[in-house]
Structure 1
């Protein structure tokens, strides 16, 4: 059990750093869309391609840390509060449909 927890922790740290770098490079909210869509696609592909023993590290850890629902929600709220309700709706719908 300790080995699984270490895999999740190390993977989560790596995924969070990758998300931070991606969103910093691309900017919000598009960086958040990018990490969520890419993470969803990778999670589906890696679930099929990888042995189950890598799931704690790669799926729960790296991709769990890489993708984010809270930033997605915050970005949509910021767009709405900035007087851009149509963009907020498009952003939210697009993210859900693409993920």
Structure 2
């Protein structure tokens, strides 16, 4: 039962964090390129790499809390489905170069951020 409660709380907080970050990034960089979604995906990859490794390998974290953070918060925060839709829309508009750049940056920077998160958690 507690797992559902922590996931729900984490999900709400993750969605709020996503909304806040989206507005902030779009306010700074505009909407011509999906910078907000890209940055959220990279941050989410860093967080999941770090927190998963820290909670599983380094610290004893209760399973319900771990689910609330990883499944709830990061699941509510991450935007990979939005990434897919934005990639499609860029391609549909004929912006093939920007569409391809978005895919490559998301994949490479996401993997790099995940590795950094794992190594950072293992270093503490």
When the two structures are superposed, what TM-score results if normalisation uses the length of structure 2? Answer: 0.73
Count matched residues: 98
1:60 aligns with 2:71: yes
Match of 2:97 in 1: 86
Alpha-carbon RMSD across the aligned residues, in angstroms, is 1.3
For residue 91 of structure 2, give the secondary structure of its aligned residue in structure 1: helix
Match of 1:69 in 2: 80
Match of 1:33 in 2: 38
Match of 1:16 in 2: 15
For residue 19 of structure 1, give the secondary structure of its aligned residue in structure 2: helix
Greater gyration radius: 2
Once the 2 structures are TM-superposed, how far is the Cα of residue 93 of structure 1 from its aligned partner? 1.5
Find the partner of 1:45 among 31, 46, 50: 50
Stretches of structure 1 lacking an aligned partner (at least 5 in a row): none
Once the 2 structures are TM-superposed, how far is the Cα of residue 23 of structure 1 from its aligned partner? 1.2
For residue 74 of structure 1, give the secondary structure of its aligned residue in structure 2: helix
Instruction: Show CA shifts across 1:61-92 (max 9, x none).
Output: 11111002111011112211222101101101
Once the 2 structures are TM-superposed, how far is the Cα of residue 94 of structure 1 from its aligned partner? 1.1
Q: Return the alpha-carbon distance in structure 1 between the equivalents of residues 107 and 53 of structure 2.
A: 22
Once the 2 structures are TM-superposed, how far is the Cα of residue 97 of structure 1 from its aligned partner? 1.5
Stretches of structure 2 lacking an aligned partner (at least 5 in a row): 111-124
